[in-house]
C-alpha cells in the first residue's frame, strides 16, 4: 500500500514517528498518512495485510451489478442495452431500470444519480464554482459520443460542448469514386441507383469545379445491434403491409379468370414466387448514398438515407467536417441516429461518424454533461469540452482495434487535449508492452496528457486488472465504488448494505507487480444516452462509470490550475490524487487502490506543493530480475525462499526540459519499507542517470493461504511532506500446500454476508489437470435464495488470466449443492474467491470443498503415422478415466496472392514521432467445398491487441463479387460461409516499412468446423490393436493406480475417400480423459499425400486408336494446329487491346471465312460487345453463317441414330461422336446467341422512355409484330431442339422469351433455382438474372420488391472492396 497525504489546509498535520520495524528517516517531516504507513499508531494497515485473506476480505462488501439479480455468466463484462462489447470494454454490467423509493420521505436523492459528493467534487464546485472544467479539453476514447444527447450541447459558459467527433476505427469510412462532372440538368444517378438533383451552386453548394464524388454504405454497418433490430422490425411491418396488398390484388385478379386461362396460370406462378420471396426475406436496411464536393474552401457532403428512388438534396444538410462548423445530421426520424462527417486523403475518404453503442455517450455525460435546468444531473465537470474518439469498431460489435487506439492518441494530441478517459480494456499476456502502450506512455510523458482508464470488471479475484489501465505506467487506473446513497437512488433494495467496492471491480496487482488500481470512484450513474435509444438517460454500472467520474474530478483540478496559470504534468497530478485518496475500512489497496478520489484534498495538496519541473518528474523504477514495476511472489517455490531484488531508479525529464536542469539535477532519497519482511538500504543518491539498490524479501515466515502486501517507497529528503516520489509494491501470495496423501481442500462453515468475500490460495499438486469445486449450503434464515460468486484463477506466464479462470454466479438455496469444474495446471497457485452477491440479502453458511485430479500427458499430440501414441501416467493419485476423442476442425494454411503497402498522408495517420503510419494489405484466395462455419485467422497477429507490435490485425472476407461476408480482428470467431470462392484481406499497420516488408508472405489459417465430428478410438495394449481397429482393446473407461505409466494408441482417421481434403491440410480435435471434458489434449493429424489414382489404360488406348483414324495429311494437321493457336492468341489479344485484337480478328476471318473456330470467336466477341445495341444484326448474321457451315440434318441423323450402348471398341463411332459433339457445341452457341440478339432487337424497338423493356407494346404494324414474333419463336424453338434451355448455360434465352410473351410468372419460375433455391452453376448469368428480376418487379408495379432488390444489388455487387481502416 502507498501512503496518502492529506493537506494541512483540510486536516491538521501530525508528526509521524517511524515504526520500530523500519529504519528512521534522516530528516523530520510532517504529513498525514491515510493507511498508517510506517506508523505504529496506524498498525491497522500493516495487520490487515498480514492477516488471513479470509479474515480481511470477509468484511469486504460489494454491490450488485443489477437490481437484486446478478449477471449471468454470459453477461459478465457486457453492457446495458445496446452496448455489447464482446468482452472488450471495461464497461457496464447490465442493469435493470428499477425504480427506487428514497428512505427520506421528503424527496428523491437526486444528487446520487450522478454521484459527486463521495469524491468531494460537489463540495469543491460549491467552493470554487468557476473551476468547473472550463478551459479543459477531454478526449473520450469509447464507442463514440452522440452530439445530440441531452446535456452535451453547451458548457456552463456557453461554449460548444463537443468540439470534434472522430471515428478512429475507420468503420465509417467510405471510399469515394473519381470525380464526375455535373450535367446541365444537374441530375445524377448515385451508386445505389437513386436519381438526385444537385442544387444550384451557391452558399454551401458552391462548387467551382462543377463536379461531385459518389460513395455508398450499408446503414446497418453503422447501427448498433439494438437499433438495427428496432429499425428492422419497423421496416418489416411496413413491408408486410405492401406485400400483403400485392398478394391480395393478384388473388383478386386470378379469381376473375377461368381455370384454363393462360394468364391465370401465370398469376398463380407470380403469387407462388412472392410467397417464396417472403420466406427468404432479409432486410437490407437503408442504403446510404454520399455525395461530396469541394466548395472552394473545404470539403462538404450530403448523405441520402431514405428508401426513395429519388431524393431532394436541397432538403439535406450539406455538412463540412464537424470540427469546422459543429454540424451533425440525423439519418431519419425512424432511427434517430445522429452522424457527423470527416474528410481524409484529399476527399478520397468520407468518414461517416456515428456511435457504436450508447456506452461512450453515457461516459461523456458522467464526465461533463451540463443540464442548465437540472444542475443536480450535471456531470462532474460541466464546464469541460470534449473530443469524441470512437475506438469501438461498428464492424466488430464495438470491439476496440489497434488502428482505433493509436489514431485515438494522435487525435487527442492534435486537438491539444488535457485529459483522456478510456473506459475500455482487455486481459493481456504481458504488462508494459506493445505498440499502444508505448505511444500512450509517450503521450503522457512527453505531451502532458493525463490519461485515466477503467481498471476492469473482471473481479473479484486478484490480478484481474487489464490493459491498458493497470499495465501501462503513467495511467491512472480506476476501480468502482458504491455508496449507500447510490444504492438508495439507483437500486430498489429493501435493505441498504454498507458502502464498498463493487464485487466485479477488477483487483490488483498486475502481473508485473504494479498495484493495478490507482484510485476508486463511484461506479454507477444515470447519465445521457444517444437519441437513437429513445431515452434521455439510462443507468449503467462498471469501472466504465468510475473512470469518467474520476476523470471529471481531475478535470476540476486542471481547470483550477489552468485558471491560475499554473503548470502541471501527469505525474504531479497522479501523485496528488493518489496521496489524498480516502481509504475505506476493511478494504485493501489491491481492491480500491489508494482509496476514493478526494477532489478538495487533492486541490489543497496542489496548492501546498506547487508544481516544479525539477521536483515533479517521473521516476522509472524497474525490478531488473523480473523486468517489472513491482515485486509479485505467488508460486510455492518463490514464497518459501529469500528473494533479493535488484531495483533501478532513473529520472525521466520532459521532452523540452533545458539541459542545464538535467545537469543540475540531484536528489537524495530516503528508502523505506513498511514491513519487517522487506529489507532495504536507508538512502539512494540520484543524479541524471540510473542508480540501483538491492531489496531483500523474506516471505518464509509469512502465514500460508493468505495475501501479504508491503511497499518500498522513495521519499525526497528535502520534500518529505510531499509524499513518496516513487513506489515499489511488494505482494506475496503464499499458497497452502496440501498433504502428500491428500488431494482435497475443505473449508467448512464459512459465514457470509451480503458482499462478503473469502480468498483461498492453494498450491495445485504436480500432475493435477482438473479441479472440482463443491459448494454446499447449510440452513439459513430467511430460507430464500442466495446468490454466491465463485471465482477461481491461476496466473500462467505469458498468458492472460482469462485463459485459466472459472467465474460463476450461483443461485443456491438452504441445504443445496453446486458442483463446478475447471482445468488447472499443476505446480501453480490457484486462488479461489468465494463470496455472496451484494444484493443477495441475509446471511448464509457455506462449505467449500475442492478436489484435484489428473493424468499426466502432453498438452498436444500430432499424429504423423497411421497410429499415434500418448505416454500417460497417474502421478499423484488413483484415477478413474473416461476416454473420448474426436476431430472437429479441418484446417489449412493460405499464402498471400498479392500484397500492397500504402502510405496515406492524412492527419489521423501522422504519429507524434513525425512519421506516417503505413498500411499493408495482404490478399488471400481460398475456397470452401460446402456451406458451414469457418474461422479465418492470422496466427500471432489475431492473438494480441494491447501487447501487439503491429497496429492492425483485421481480416475481411469477401465473396467473388467483393461482397463483404465477415470482419474479424482480435480473437476471431466462427461465422457462416456458403460453398464458393472467397478473398480474405489482412490489414497490418506500422510506420516502419521494413517491418511490414517482413510480413509480405505471412500465412493465414482457414478452419472449417466439421458438421459431424470424426471420432477416433483410443486403444491400450499394442500398436496392432489400433492398426486393425480392434473392438476388444478399445479404451472407453479405465482405472489407473498411482505411480502407473502406460502408453495409449490412437488410430488416424481414414481420409482416402473424404471429399475436400488436400495434402498440407490437417485435422484438429481433442482427446479427453475426464467425464466432464475438462483439460483436453489437443490432437492434430496432418493430411498425408493423397493416393495417386491408377493410370486409366483403357482411356489411353482409346485416344491412341482414335488418333490412328485421323487420315489427314501432316500439312493439313499443321494448318489446323496453326489456326488453333491463332484463335487462342487473338482471343487473348482482344482482352488486352480491343483495337489490335479486332484488326487481327478481321484478318483471321478473311483468311478462314468458314472455319467454325474463327466464326465462333467472332460471334463471341460481337455478342460481348454489341448486345443491347443496334449491332445485334451482326450477331444474327454471324450466327446464321455458322449454321450454314454445319449440316444440321446430318448432325441430327447422327445423334438420332446413336445406339443406346455403343460398342466400347468401335473407335470410329467414338471419333464420330467427338467430331459431332464439337459441331453441336458450335451450333448451340450460335443458336443461343442468335435468339438473344433477336430478343434484344425486339426489346430495343419496344423500349419505353426509361430504356427498359419487358413488355411487347412498342410501335410497328401488326404484320411486323407477327413476323418478329414468328422469327423469335422459331429461334427459341431451334435452340430447344439441341439443348436443355432450362439449364444455366442457356437459361437466359427462355427467360427473355417469357418476358417477350409477358409471361412474368413463368420467367420468375424459370429463375427460381437461382433466386429462391440458391442452386449452383449460375455464376456466368448471375447479374443478368438480378437485372431481369428487378425489371419484372418494375413492370408489375411491385415497388416495394423493386426497392428491396435494388438495395441488395448495391450490397451484393459493390464496385470495389471497402476502405480498410
The answer on pLDDT for 50 being more than 50 is no
3-state secondary structure of 247: helix
Q: Check: CB of residue 1228 under 8 Å from CB of residue 1186.
A: no
Better-scored residue on pLDDT, 27 or 481: 481
Whether residue 460 is preceded by a cis peptide bond, meaning omega within 30 degrees of 0, is yes
pLDDT > 90 in the chain, percent: 66
**DSSP-assigned states of every residue in 1192-1213:** HHHHHHHHHS--SS--TT-HHH
**DSSP-assigned states of every residue in 692-754:** EEEEEE--TTSPTTEEEEEEEEEEETT-GGG-EEEEEEEEEEEPEEPPTT--EEEEEEEEE-T
Give the distance between the most distant pair of CA atoms in the chain. Answer: 120
Is 185 designated active site?
no
Binned at pLDDT 50, 70 and 90, residue 1211 comes out as confident
Binned at pLDDT 50, 70 and 90, residue 3 comes out as very low
> Locate cell 439479480: which residue?
69
Q: Check: CB of residue 1296 under 8 Å from CB of residue 1239.
A: yes
Calculate the CA 750 to chain-centre distance. Answer: 41
The answer on pLDDT for 75 being more than 90 is no
Say how many C-beta atoms besides its own lie within 10 A of residue 656's C-beta: 8
Which residues face 293 on adjacent strands? 300
* pLDDT confidence of residue 202: 87
Q: What does the block give as the cell for 1020?
A: 491400450
User: In terms of DSSP bridges, do strands 898-903 and 918-928 run parallel, antiparallel, or are they unpaired?
Assistant: antiparallel
CA distances from 1360 to 217, 466, 520, 959, 1335 (A): 12, 39, 49, 12, 25
Binned at pLDDT 50, 70 and 90, residue 861 comes out as confident
The answer on pLDDT for 936 being more than 60 is yes
Is 943 designated active site?
no
Mean pLDDT score across all residues of the chain: 87
Say how many C-beta atoms besides its own lie within 10 A of residue 165's C-beta: 28
Encode pLDDT of 371-406 as tens digits. 999 999 999 999 999 999 999 999 999 999 999 999
Dist CA 214 CA 201 (whole Å): 17
Dist CA 952 CA 919 (whole Å): 9
* pLDDT confidence of residue 960: 94
The answer on pLDDT for 1167 being more than 60 is yes
Encode pLDDT of 1220-1269 as tens digits. 999 999 999 999 999 999 998 888 776 544 445 444 555 567 888 899 99
Binned at pLDDT 50, 70 and 90, residue 1056 comes out as low
Catalytic residue among 61, 243, 359, 1074: 359
Mean pLDDT of 731-752: 90
Handedness of CA 358, 361, 364, 365 (dihedral sign): negative
* pLDDT confidence of residue 1208: 84
Encode pLDDT of 147-190 as tens digits. 999 999 999 999 999 999 999 999 999 999 989 999 999 999 99
Among candidate residues 1348, 1340, 1353, the one with its CA nearest the CA of residue 246: 1340
Handedness of CA 1189, 1192, 1197, 1198 (dihedral sign): positive
Mean pLDDT of 905-924: 91
Among candidate residues 501, 1079, 619, the one with its CA nearest the CA of residue 822: 1079
Dist CA 499 CA 523 (whole Å): 12
Is 359 designated active site?
yes
Q: Check: CB of residue 696 under 8 Å from CB of residue 641.
A: no
Encode pLDDT of 1327-1362 as tens digits. 999 999 999 999 999 999 999 999 999 999 999 999
Dist CA 1132 CA 1136 (whole Å): 7
Among candidate residues 928, 868, 864, 923, the one with its CA nearest the CA of residue 892: 928
Encode pLDDT of 788-807 as tens digits. 999 999 999 989 999 999 99
* pLDDT confidence of residue 614: 67
Encode pLDDT of 523-560 as tens digits. 999 999 999 999 999 999 999 999 999 999 999 999 99
Task: Name, in order, each residue with C-beta under 8 angstroms of 206's C-beta and a sequence gap of 6 or more.
Answer: 295, 296
Dist CA 727 CA 671 (whole Å): 10
Helices (H), 1251-1303: 1262-1282, 1291-1300
The answer on pLDDT for 1309 being more than 90 is yes
Better-scored residue on pLDDT, 713 or 1257: 713
Catalytic residue among 142, 167, 601, 1017: 142
Handedness of CA 1051, 1055, 1058, 1063 (dihedral sign): positive
Look up the pTM and report it: 0.89
Binned at pLDDT 50, 70 and 90, residue 1209 comes out as confident
CA torsion, ordered 680, 685, 689, 694, to nearest 10 deg: -10
CA distances from 147 to 219, 304, 365, 394 (A): 19, 20, 11, 18
Q: Check: CB of residue 918 under 8 Å from CB of residue 999.
A: no
Which residues face 812 on adjacent strands? 786
Catalytic residue among 53, 525, 544, 844: 544
The answer on pLDDT for 37 being more than 60 is no
| 873 Rama sector, left if φ>0, alpha if ψ -120 to 50, beta otherwise | beta
The answer on pLDDT for 889 being more than 80 is yes
Better-scored residue on pLDDT, 636 or 783: 636
Among candidate residues 345, 390, 412, the one with its CA nearest the CA of residue 167: 390
The answer on pLDDT for 1317 being more than 60 is yes
Dist CA 742 CA 765 (whole Å): 10
Dist CA 1070 CA 1078 (whole Å): 11
Mean pLDDT of 609-622: 83
Encode pLDDT of 651-706 as tens digits. 988 777 888 888 889 999 999 999 999 999 999 999 999 999 999 999 999 999 99
* pLDDT confidence of residue 1256: 53
The answer on pLDDT for 1089 being more than 90 is no
DSSP state for residue 75 in the 8-state scheme: G
> Locate cell 511497499: which residue?
711
The answer on pLDDT for 98 being more than 50 is no
> Locate cell 449450503: which residue?
777
Amino acid at each position: 500500500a502507498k501512503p496518502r497525504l492529506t493537506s494541512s489546509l483540510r486536516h491538521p498535520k501530525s508528526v509521524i514517528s517511524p515504526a520500530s520495524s523500519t529504519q528512521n528517516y534522516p530528516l523530520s517531516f510532517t504529513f498525514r498518512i491515510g493507511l498508517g504507513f510506517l506508523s505504529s499508531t496506524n498498525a491497522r494497515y500493516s495487520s490487515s495485510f498480514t492477516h488471513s485473506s479470509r479474515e480481511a476480505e470477509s468484511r469486504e462488501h460489494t454491490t450488485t451489478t443489477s437490481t437484486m439479480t446478478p449477471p449471468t455468466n454470459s453477461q459478465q463484462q457486457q453492457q446495458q442495452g445496446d452496448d455489447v462489447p464482446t468482452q472488450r470494454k471495461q464497461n457496464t454490467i447490465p442493469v435493470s431500470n428499477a425504480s427506487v423509493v428514497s428512505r427520506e420521505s421528503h424527496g428523491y436523492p437526486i444528487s446520487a444519480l450522478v454521484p459527486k459528493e463521495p469524491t468531494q467534487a460537489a463540495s469543491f464546485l460549491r467552493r470554487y464554482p468557476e473551476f468547473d472544467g472550463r478551459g479543459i479539453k477531454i478526449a473520450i476514447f469509447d464507442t463514440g459520443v452522440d452530439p445530440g444527447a441531452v446535456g452535451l450541447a453547451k458548457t456552463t459558459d456557453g461554449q460548444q460542448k463537443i468540439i470534434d467527433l472522430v471515428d478512429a476505427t475507420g468503420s465509417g469510412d467510405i471510399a469515394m469514386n473519381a470525380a464526375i462532372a455535373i450535367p446541365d440538368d444537374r441530375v445524377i444517378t448515385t451508386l445505389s441507383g437513386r436519381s438526385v438533383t444537385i442544387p444550384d451552386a451557391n452558399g454551401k453548394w458552391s462548387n467551382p469545379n462543377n463536379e461531385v464524388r459518389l460513395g455508398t454504405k450499408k446503414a446497418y454497418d453503422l447501427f448498433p445491434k439494438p437499433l438495427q433490430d428496432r429499425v428492422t422490425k419497423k421496416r418489416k411491418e411496413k413491408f408486410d403491409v405492401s406485400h400483403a396488398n400485392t398478394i391480395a390484388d393478384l388473388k383478386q385478379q386470378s379469381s376473375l379468370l377461368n381455370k384454363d386461362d393462360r394468364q391465370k396460370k401465370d398469376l398463380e406462378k407470380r403469387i407462388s414466387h412472392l410467397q417464396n420471396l417472403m420466406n427468404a426475406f432479409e432486410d437490407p436496411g437503408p442504403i446510404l448514398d454520399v455525395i461530396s464536393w469541394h466548395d472552394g474552401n473545404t470539403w462538404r457532403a450530403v448523405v441520402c438515407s431514405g428508401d426513395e428512388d429519388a431524393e431532394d438534396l436541397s432538403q439535406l444538410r450539406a455538412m463540412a467536417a464537424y470540427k469546422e462548423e459543429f454540424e451533425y445530421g440525423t439519418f431519419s426520424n425512424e432511427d434517430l441516429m445522429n452522424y457527423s462527417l470527416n474528410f481524409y486523403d484529399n476527399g478520397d475518404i468520407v468518414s461517416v461518424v456515428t456511435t457504436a453503442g450508447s456506452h461512450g455517450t453515457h461516459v461523456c455525460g458522467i464526465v461533463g454533461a451540463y443540464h442548465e435546468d437540472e444542475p443536480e444531473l450535471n456531470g462532474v465537470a460541466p464546464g469541460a469540452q470534449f473530443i469524441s474518439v470512437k475506438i469501438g469498431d461498428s464492424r466488430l460489435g464495438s470491439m476496440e482495434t489497434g488502428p482505433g487506439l493509436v489514431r485515438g492518441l494522435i487525435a487527442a494530441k492534435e486537438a491539444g487535449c488535457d485529459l483522456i478517459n478510456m473506459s475500455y480494456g482487455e486481459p493481456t499476456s504481458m504488462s508494459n508492452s506493445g505498440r499502444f502502450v508505448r505511444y500512450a506512455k509517450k503521450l503522457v510523458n512527453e505531451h502532458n496528457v493525463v490519461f485515466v482508464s477503467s481498471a476492469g470488471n473482471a473481479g473479484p479475484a486478484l490480478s484481474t486488472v487489464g490493459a491498458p489501465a493497470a499495465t501501462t505506467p503513467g495511467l491512472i487506473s480506476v476501480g468502482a465504488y458504491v455508496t449507500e446513497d447510490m444504492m438508495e437512488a439507483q437500486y430498489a433494495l429493501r435493505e441498504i448494505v454498507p458502502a464498498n467496492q463493487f464485487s466485479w471491480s477488477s483487483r490488483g496487482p498486475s502481473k508485473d507487480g504494479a498495484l493495478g488500481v490507482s484510485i476508486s470512484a463511484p461506479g454507477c450513474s444515470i447519465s445521457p444516452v444517444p437519441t437513437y435509444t429513445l431515452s434521455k438517460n439510462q443507468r449503467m454500472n462498471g469501472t466504465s462509470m468510475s473512470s469518467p467520474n474520476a476523470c471529471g474530478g481531475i478535470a476540476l483540478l486542471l481547470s483550477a490550475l489552468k485558471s491560475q496559470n499554473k503548470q502541471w504534468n501527469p505525474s504531479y497530478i497522479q501523485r496528488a490524487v493518489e496521496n489524498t485518496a480516502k481509504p475505506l475500512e476493511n478494504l485493501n489497496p489491491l481492491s480500491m487502490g489508494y482509496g476514493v478520489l478526494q477532489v478538495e484534498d487533492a486541490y489543497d495538496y496542489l496548492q501546498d506543493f506547487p508544481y516544479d519541473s525539477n521536483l515533479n518528474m517521473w521516476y522509472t523504477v524497474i525490478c531488473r530480475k523480473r523486468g517489472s514495476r513491482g515485486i509479485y511472489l505467488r508460486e510455492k517455490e518463490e514464497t518459501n525462499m529469500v528473494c533479493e531484488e535488484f531495483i533501478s531508479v532513473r529520472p525521466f525529464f520532459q521532452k523540452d526540459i533545458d539541459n542545464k536542469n538535467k545537469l543540475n539535477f540531484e536528489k537524495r532519497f530516503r528508502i523505506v519499507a513498511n514491513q519487517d519482511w522487506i529489507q532495504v538500504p536507508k538512502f539512494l543518491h540520484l543524479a541524471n542517470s540510473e542508480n540501483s539498490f538491492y531489496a531483500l524479501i523474506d516471505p518464509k515466515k509469512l502465514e500460508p493461504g493468505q495475501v501479504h502486501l508491503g511497499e518500498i517507497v522513495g521519499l525526497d529528503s528535502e520534500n518529505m511532506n510531499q509524499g513518496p516520489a516513487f513506489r515499489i509494491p511488494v505482494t506475496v501470495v503464499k499458497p497452502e500446500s496440501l498433504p502428500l496423501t491428500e488431494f482435497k481442500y475443505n473449508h467448512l462453515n464459512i459465514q457470509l454476508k451480503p458482499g462478503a468475500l473469502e480468498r483461498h490460495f492453494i498450491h495445485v499438486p504436480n500432475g493435477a489437470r482438473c479441479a472440482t469445486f463443491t459448494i454446499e449450503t447449510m440452513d439459513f434464515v430467511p430460507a430464500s435464495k442466495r446468490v454466491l460468486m465463485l471465482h477461481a484463477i491461476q496466473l500462467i506466464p505469458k498468458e492472460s488470466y482469462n485463459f485459466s479462470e472459472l467465474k460463476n454466479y450461483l443461485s443456491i438455496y438452504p441445504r443445496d449443492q453446486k458442483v463446478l469444474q475447471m482445468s488447472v495446471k499443476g505446480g501453480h497457485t490457484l486462488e479461489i474467491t468465494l463470496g455472496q452477491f451484494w444484493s443477495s440479502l441475509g446471511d448464509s453458511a457455506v462449505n467449500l470443498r475442492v478436489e484435484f485430479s489428473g493424468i499426466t500427458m502432453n498438452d498436444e499430440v500430432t499424429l504423423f503415422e497411421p497410429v499415434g501414441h500418448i505416454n500417460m501416467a497417474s502421478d499423484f493419485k488413483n484415477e478413474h478415466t473416461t476416454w473420448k476423442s474426436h476431430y472437429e476442425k479441418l484446417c489449412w494454411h493460405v499464402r498471400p496472392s498479392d500484397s500492397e503497402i500504402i502510405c496515406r498522408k492524412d492527419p489521423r495517420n501522422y504519429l507524434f514521432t513525425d512519421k506516417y503510419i503505413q498500411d499493408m494489405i495482404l490478399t488471400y484466395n481460398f475456397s470452401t467445398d460446402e456451406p458451414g462455419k469457418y474461422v479465418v485467422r492470422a496466427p500471432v497477429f489475431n492473438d494480441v491487441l494491447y501487447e501487439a507490435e503491429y497496429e492492425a490485425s483485421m481480416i475481411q472476407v469477401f465473396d467473388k463479387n467483393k461482397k463483404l461476408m465477415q470482419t474479424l480482428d482480435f480473437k476471431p470467431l466462427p461465422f457462416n460461409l456458403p460453398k464458393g470462392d472467397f478473398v480474405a484481406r489482412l490489414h497490418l499497420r506500422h510506420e516502419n516499412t521494413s517491418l511490414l516488408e517482413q510480413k509480405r508472405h505471412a500465412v493465414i489459417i482457414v478452419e472449417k468446423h466439421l458438421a459431424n465430428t470424426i471420432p477416433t478410438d483410443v486403444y491400450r495394449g499394442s500398436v496392432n490393436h489400433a492398426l486393425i481397429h480392434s473392438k476388444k482393446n478399445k479404451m472407453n473407461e479405465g482405472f489407473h493406480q498411482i505411480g502407473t505409466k502406460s502408453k495409449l494408441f490412437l488410430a488416424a482417421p481414414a481420409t482416402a475417400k473424404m471429399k475436400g481434403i488436400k495434402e498440407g491440410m490437417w485435422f484438429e480435435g481433442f482427446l479427453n480423459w475426464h467425464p466432464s471434458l475438462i483439460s483436453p489434449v489437443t490432437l492434430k493429424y496432418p493430411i498425408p499425400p493423397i493416393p495417386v489414382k491408377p493410370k486409366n489404360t483403357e482411356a489411353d488406348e482409346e485416344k491412341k486408336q482414335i488418333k490412328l483414324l485421323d487420315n489427314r495429311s501432316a500439312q493439313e494437321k499443321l494448318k489446323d494446329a496453326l489456326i488453333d493457336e491463332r484463335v487462342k492468341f487473338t482471343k487473348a489479344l482482344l482482352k488486352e487491346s480491343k483495337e489490335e485484337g479486332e484488326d487481327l480478328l478481321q484478318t483471321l476471318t478473311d483468311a478462314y471465312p468458314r472455319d467454325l473456330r474463327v466464326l465462333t470467336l467472332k460471334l463471341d466477341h460481337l455478342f460481348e460487345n454489341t448486345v443491347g445495341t443496334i449491332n445485334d444484326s451482326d450477331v444474327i448474321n454471324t450466327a446464321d453463317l455458322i449454321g450454314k457451315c454445319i449440316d444440321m440434318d446430318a448432325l441430327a441423323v447422327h445423334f438420332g441414330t446413336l445406339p443406346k450402348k455403343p460398342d466400347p471398341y468401335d473407335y470410329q463411332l467414338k471419333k464420330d461422336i467427338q467430331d459431332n459433339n464439337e459441331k453441336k457445341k458450335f451450333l448451340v452457341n450460335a443458336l443461343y446467341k442468335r435468339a438473344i440478339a433477336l430478343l434484344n432487337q425486339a426489346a430495343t424497338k419496344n423500349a419505353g422512355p426509361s430504356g427498359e423493356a419487358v413488355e411487347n407494346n412498342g410501335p410497328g404494324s401488326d404484320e411486323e409484330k407477327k413476323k418478329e414474333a414468328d422469327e423469335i419463336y422459331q429461334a427459341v424453338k431451334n435452340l430447344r431442339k439441341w439443348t436443355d434451355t432450362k439449364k444455366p448455360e442457356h437459361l437466359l434465352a427462355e427467360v427473355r422469351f417469357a418476358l417477350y410473351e409477358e409471361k412474368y410468372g413463368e420467367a420468375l419460375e424459370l429463375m427460381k433455382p437461382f433466386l429462391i433455391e440458391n442452386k449452383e452453376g449460375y455464376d456466368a448469368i448471375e447479374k443478368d438474372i438480378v437485372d431481369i428480376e428487378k425489371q419484372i418487379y418494375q413492370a408489375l408495379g411491385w415497388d416495394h420488391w423493386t426497392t428491396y432488390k435494388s438495395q441488395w444489388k448495391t450490397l451484393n455487387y459493390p464496385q470495389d472492396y471497402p476502405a480498410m481502416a
